[in-house]
Amino acid sequence: MGSSVFFYEDGMSNKKSEYNWLTQNSKMAKMSGVKTYNGGIPAYQSTTGLKTCPNAAACAKGCYATMGAYRFSNVARVFEQRLKLSQSPNFALIINAEIKRRKVQRLRIHDSGDFYSIEYTQKWLNIMRANPDVQFYAYTKMVSMFKELADDGQLPPNFTIIYSFGGTQDKLINRAVDRHSWVFSSLEALKAAGYANASENDAVALDGNPKIGLVYHGTKSFENTDWGKTKGLAA
């Protein structure tokens, strides 16, 4: 883009946080060798009332992204700004520019939030097509939507989707076939079930084992969440 200043649809300039849409969290920093970035939007529901995780179910109680540092007002404000950007016609323009400026090699879409609409999803698919050398990946509970897009041949080859248990469409995830993730109470339980541990290093989520395990790290105790009720029914 000529000017790197993004203007919201209401005309408000965002010069201060231009190029601040993609970040690196501690897990990203450990993915050595490949420049990996991440961009999140508010978890579960925005301040405007938009359901940003439309298929959240068991995951919502004890969601890591509604707790801890994610609740700091400055962090929450950035997430709301990103959501607003995602609704603007400038979204792809801004993200494409930031990918180039940061020389992003791998991008995780959402450490918080989900693909809240097909229109928003299509914007990301267009960004992937515009950046064929960048590897994109995402955990999602929007299972039926992505399975339909896959059946229609609309998912670019540089995109890896990981179906995430804990949502309203768990029944559609086939654990024998689909790359998927499951939250465990402990590392021992994760290993005993034959899952790859992506709790510390997210690169594991893209390796050979399509069964991705995460040890619960929210601020509630595992027993006070609904994760223990999650059932994988398709396999």
The residues that touch ligand SF4, with contacts defined as CB under 6 A, are 43-44, 53, 56, 59-60, 63, 65, 112-114, 141
Cα–Cα dist 174/180, whole Å: 8
Beta carbon nearer to ligand SF4, 21 or 216? 216
Beta carbon nearer to ligand SF4, 39 or 113? 113
Beta carbon nearer to ligand SF4, 43 or 212? 43
- The distance of closest approach from Cβ of residue 193 to ligand SF4 in the complex, given in angstroms and rounded to an integer, is 19
Beta carbon nearer to ligand SF4, 131 or 147? 147
- The distance of closest approach from Cβ of residue 182 to ligand SF4 in the complex, given in angstroms and rounded to an integer, is 13
The two three-digit tokens of residue 71, written as one number = 């609740």
Helices 118-130 and 91-102: crossing angle, nearest 10°? 40
**Residue 201 CB-half CA count within 13 A:** 10
- The distance of closest approach from Cβ of residue 224 to ligand SF4 in the complex, given in angstroms and rounded to an integer, is 15
- The distance of closest approach from Cβ of residue 25 to ligand SF4 in the complex, given in angstroms and rounded to an integer, is 14
3-state secondary structure 66-125: HCHHHHCHHHHHHHHHHHHHHCCCCHHHHHHHHHHHHCCCEEEECCCCCCCCHHHHHHHH
